[in-house]
Amino acid sequence: MRIGYGYDVHRFEDGGPLILGGVEIPFEKSLSGHSDADVLLHAITDALLGACALGDLGSHFPDTSEDFKDIDSRVLLRDALTLVEEKEFSIGNIDATVVAEQPKLSSYIDEMRQVIAKDLKVDVGQVSVKATTSERLGFEGKGKGISARAVVLLTGS
């Protein structure tokens, strides 16, 4: 068994779309980043890579490479899964939390779980996504961006 932890943060910028967990969320801002800046999928991807001691998102998909400019983070997540499978591990479960004052995410959580489960080839019951605020504290609470944390349990090898 292996456990991995991932964290990511992106600041807001004007315009959309806002993508979280592979789902487009109606909002007047998007997240700034080299890729689509899906902070939730980035945290999960980092957790998967970390559990296998394979480095992090930036070492596999550097933001200095035009190959990854505006890339859909679902592609990066699936690529990380391939690396996990090459090490003969499988996903036991994922537990992730998004921290955002706005927008409210509760009505999108089930769809995010379904997208993540599909991309990782697991049952939706193995994927937990939660959303919380920071009670108006810190950069998230001031509406400057969104952060996400993820923990993954791998079994096998």
Residue 142 annotated as binding site: yes
Residue 12 annotated as binding site: no
Residue 89 annotated as binding site: no
Residue 60 annotated as binding site: no
Residue 34 annotated as binding site: yes
Residue 56 annotated as binding site: yes
Residue 9 annotated as binding site: yes
Residue 27's CB is within 10 A of a number of other CB atoms, namely 17
Residue 90 annotated as binding site: no
For every residue of 9-74, which 3-state class applies, written as one string? EEEEEECCCEEECCEEECCCEEECCCCCCCHHHHHHHHHHHHHCCCCCHHHHCCCCCHHHCCCCHH
* Pairwise CA distance, residues 36 & 19, whole Å: 7
Residue 49 annotated as binding site: no
Residue 42 annotated as binding site: yes
Residue 58 annotated as binding site: yes
Residue 132 annotated as binding site: yes
Radius of gyration from C-alpha coordinates of the chain = 15
Residue 13 annotated as binding site: no
Residue positions forming the annotated binding site for a divalent metal cation: 8, 10, 42
Residue positions forming the annotated binding site: 8-10, 34-35, 42, 56-58, 132-135, 139, 142
